[in-house]
Structure 1
Amino acid sequence: MDLDPRLARTFREAAITSAVSGRPDPGALAALRASGLLATAVPREYGGAGGDASDVNRVVERLAGLNASLAIMAFQHFAVSSRIAEWGTEEQKGKLLPALADGSCLAASAWSEQGAGAAKRNVSSTAVRGADGTWVLDGAKSFTTTASVADLYLVLVRTGPPQDDPGSGYGTSGQTFFLVDACNPGLVPDLSLDLVGMRGSATGFVTMRECVVGDTDRLGPEGHAARIIAGVRESGATLGAVAVGVAQAAFELLVAHQRKRGGLASPVVRDRLVPLATRVESARAMVERAGARSSSDPGMTTLHSKLHASEAAETVCLEAARMLGSAGYTVASELNRLLADARAVALMGPTNDLCRELVASTWPN
């Protein structure tokens, strides 16, 4: 997928700026909103591009090669768009999807919270239904990407006690999703987190204090958020696409450096480059397979793609750093940002540890 050169330059320059400031770049965010890319996962009948998981993965990979922070923000936007398209009421779809497509509404997911665990099974944020049918949300979410710059949040809360379940998977019964407008006075974002990687992703906290929403803002059946979460993995859209974009950018940086120094004339250098190129291509192939949903178990392929691609990205970045030598051992080196971003992918939900747990849970004793 090709981007307009000026847009690509804007995104790349913003990545450099945000790596220093630790804040999202307003110009890059405005350019992303106006680019038309945010329409990727919205059905055509609502003004979108009607893209599938393969299209989402390709867009995310391309963005990640320029600006991983923007890529993860776009990924979350696509995830929310897809969930609304799949589970939303006709009213929700008619109101929200056109705005999500044209970029006037930027969406974020607020699922994680301290103490909930990687699998989001111990969520303490609550929603209590009032006598008038409205809900009051209270609690705090952590590591929410696009916090403070999003217009819409998909919030995971507890609406009832969990029922008996096997204790594996992501989420649990008794949990419900709500769509909360950023203008709601009961929702307060906080960007006090100072992350090492993805520093321009506006990842922070979101606090809900007597946050009142209507039952029309509920997404999907009450108490059955786990069903929606399961569908996310089955969709084939994968954070592995972010890792592939980062790995490709690191490899291209290394090749450009070696070419400039005349290193490509050396058989030794070329021999060390080949396995790195192979890692990038194998990670891309795994991500493409996840997006195509061609396997007998698409959800498992999505987990494998995230694991493989994120580990490949870290390996490529580390080996590139070794080959760059002192040229990469400076604060200004772009490779250091790419390495930090590659490490961040492994910690994003589902974290690599949880991915391994979910894969291992399929094997009988």
Structure 2
Amino acid sequence: MPGTVHDVHDIRTETDIDPELAARLRQSAERTAVTGQPDPDTLAELRGSGLLGTAVPREHGGAGGDPAEVNRVVERLARLNPSLSIMAFQHFAVSSRIAEWGSPDQKRELLPRLADGTCLAASAWSEQGAGAAKRHLSSTAVRRPDGTWVLDGAKSFTTTASVADLYLVLVRTGDLPTDPGSGYGAAGQTFFLVDAGNPGLVPDLSLDLVGMRGSATGFVSMRECVVADTDRLGPEGLAAQIIAGVRESGATLGAVAVGVALAAFELLVEHLGRRNQLASPVVRDRLVSMATRVESARAMVERAGARSSADPGMTTLHSKLHASAVAEEICLQAAGMLGSTGYTAASGVNRLLGDARAVALMGPTNDLCRELVASTWPN
């Protein structure tokens, strides 16, 4: 029928997420936007949903999903609950790194738990003063005579802090290089897998974020945090190689941004439908233009996940840049078309705008993405 939502909104697709769970995820997003705290009940449902096994190989109990499937799951979650989607994204990233670089014992012990949701993983890479590229780390790991390591330092903007069971921590094990280079990370850095029960690791959720308020993003301190050498992920001093592989994988934060853009667009269309404004040619023209922008972002994310371009790493960087810009643009346009409703504190579009802006700041930040892209060009 003319003027219906579906006339202008053919980008809506069905998800694989149970409808009842989807409704609870949306409600949780609304609650955590107010409280600024993670939702333990919804996290428990995510753990039991089977989705956390997406990036774990089948031989270890997971779904064996490729980067394209990881991006699809992240997008679907982001349409419902952006904070939860970024927690899932980080979990998938750690799962993939263990699947690629883990020792046989690490894979055997950790991957089945990451797949069934009994272990939720987080990445602790960022720290104050390290820069967006993580080239100047202050946190260190020192090997003791008995072969164990002692980690000391502090990490900032760690998603899933306090609710994760396992942290992938980036520290310096060698001398700080005089020329750290122009990539992501630097020589002399090493990854360790640290159990949340380690008494030397202390999370802190005192950050009061504007966006992704339910993502449990905070600080993680390490004070005389003792770990075994078997907790090291990959070769000593070569974390930069692992980081480089993350970009090449095709899994992209652009998927989070696409989900946020879709959520804002759906909110707008539903509002206009209730007000019988969808038959207006002007409104329909603007909506179609917005839908096309979202589809362009989705297409780039899908291309990154397919790794079909000549340089998949560059495509992954471009996908984050483009999708995060589109998400913020769609949220701002939706706020304008909602009129006074879009400028109330209770409006969902303002929550989504904060989430969209947060994606741009997540590592690699958009500024670093631009730097990495430009670094391939001749001077």
TM-score, normalised with respect to structure 1: 0.99
Deviations 1:60-85 (A, max 9, x none): 00000000000000000000000000
Q: 1:270 aligns with which of 278, 281, 284?
A: 284
Q: CA deviation at 1:219?
A: 0.1
Q: 2:205 aligns with which of 191, 203, 208?
A: 191
SS of the aligned residue for 1:285 comes to helix
Shift in alpha-carbon separation, 1:262–1:22, aligned structure 2, 3 A: same
Q: CA RMSD in A?
A: 0.8
Q: CA deviation at 1:165?
A: 5.7
Q: 2:64 aligns with which of 45, 50, 70?
A: 50
Q: 2:265 aligns with which of 241, 251, 258?
A: 251
1:116 matched to which residue of 2?
A: 130
Q: 1:318 aligns with which of 332, 345, 364?
A: 332
Q: 1:169 corresponds to which letter in structure 2?
A: G
Q: Distance in 2 between matches of 1:298 and 1:73?
A: 24
Q: 1:128 aligns with which of 142, 147, 165?
A: 142
List gaps (5 residues or longer) in structure 1: none
Q: 2:190 aligns with which of 173, 176, 198?
A: 176
Matched, 1:217 2:234: no
Which runs of structure 2 are paired with 1:146-185 in the superposition (5 Å)?
146-163=160-177, 167-185=181-199
SS of the aligned residue for 2:250 comes to coil
Q: CA deviation at 1:161?
A: 1.6
Matched, 1:328 2:333: no
Whether the 8 Å contact between 2:202 and 2:222 is mirrored in structure 1 is yes
SS of the aligned residue for 2:338 comes to helix
Deviations 1:129-155 (A, max 9, x none): 000000000000000000000000000
Q: CA deviation at 1:260?
A: 1.1
Deviations 1:232-251 (A, max 9, x none): 00000000000000000101
Q: 1:32 corresponds to which letter in structure 2?
A: L
Q: Distance in 1 between matches of 2:349 and 2:241?
A: 39
Matched, 1:207 2:221: yes
List gaps (5 residues or longer) in structure 2: 1-14
Which runs of structure 2 are paired with 1:55-74 in the superposition (5 Å)?
55-74=69-88
Name the stretch that deviates more: 217-226 or 330-339. 330-339
Deviations 1:21-62 (A, max 9, x none): 000111110000000000000000000000010010000000
Matched, 1:356 2:331: no
TM-score, normalised with respect to structure 2: 0.95
1:39 matched to which residue of 2?
A: 53
Matched, 1:75 2:98: no
2:352 matched to which residue of 1?
A: 338
Q: 1:176 corresponds to which letter in structure 2?
A: T
Q: Distance in 2 between matches of 1:164 and 1:362?
A: 22
Name the stretch that deviates more: 261-270 or 34-43. 261-270
SS of the aligned residue for 2:293 comes to helix
Q: 1:3 aligns with which of 17, 31, 39?
A: 17
2:254 matched to which residue of 1?
A: 240
Whether the 8 Å contact between 2:180 and 2:186 is mirrored in structure 1 is no
SS of the aligned residue for 1:108 comes to strand
Q: CA deviation at 1:2?
A: 2.2
Matched, 1:85 2:119: no
Deviations 1:208-258 (A, max 9, x none): 000000000000000000000000000000000000000001011111111
Q: Distance in 1 between matches of 2:340 and 2:87?
A: 33
Q: 1:108 corresponds to which letter in structure 2?
A: A
Q: 1:235 corresponds to which letter in structure 2?
A: S
Deviations 1:160-184 (A, max 9, x none): 0245767111000000000000000
Deviations 1:104-157 (A, max 9, x none): 000000000000000000011000000000000000000000000000000000
Q: Distance in 2 between matches of 1:301 and 1:249?
A: 24
SS of the aligned residue for 1:263 comes to coil
Q: Distance in 2 between matches of 1:325 and 1:362?
A: 44
Q: Distance in 2 between matches of 1:262 and 1:362?
A: 51
SS of the aligned residue for 1:143 comes to strand
Q: Distance in 1 between matches of 2:88 and 2:285?
A: 36
2:3 matched to which residue of 1?
A: none
Q: Distance in 1 between matches of 2:323 and 2:128?
A: 27
State the aligned residue count.
365
Q: CA deviation at 1:317?
A: 0.4
SS of the aligned residue for 1:27 comes to helix
Q: Distance in 2 between matches of 1:90 and 1:27?
A: 33
Deviations 1:72-104 (A, max 9, x none): 000000000000000000000000000000000
Whether the 8 Å contact between 2:184 and 2:240 is mirrored in structure 1 is yes
Q: Distance in 2 between matches of 1:31 and 1:209?
A: 33
Whether the 8 Å contact between 2:180 and 2:187 is mirrored in structure 1 is no
Matched, 1:106 2:120: yes
Q: Distance in 2 between matches of 1:164 and 1:118?
A: 18
Q: Distance in 1 between matches of 2:18 and 2:179?
A: 49
Deviations 1:292-315 (A, max 9, x none): 000111000000000000000000
Q: Distance in 1 between matches of 2:318 and 2:178?
A: 28
Whether the 8 Å contact between 2:173 and 2:236 is mirrored in structure 1 is yes
Which 4+ runs in 1 deviate beyond 3 A? 162-166
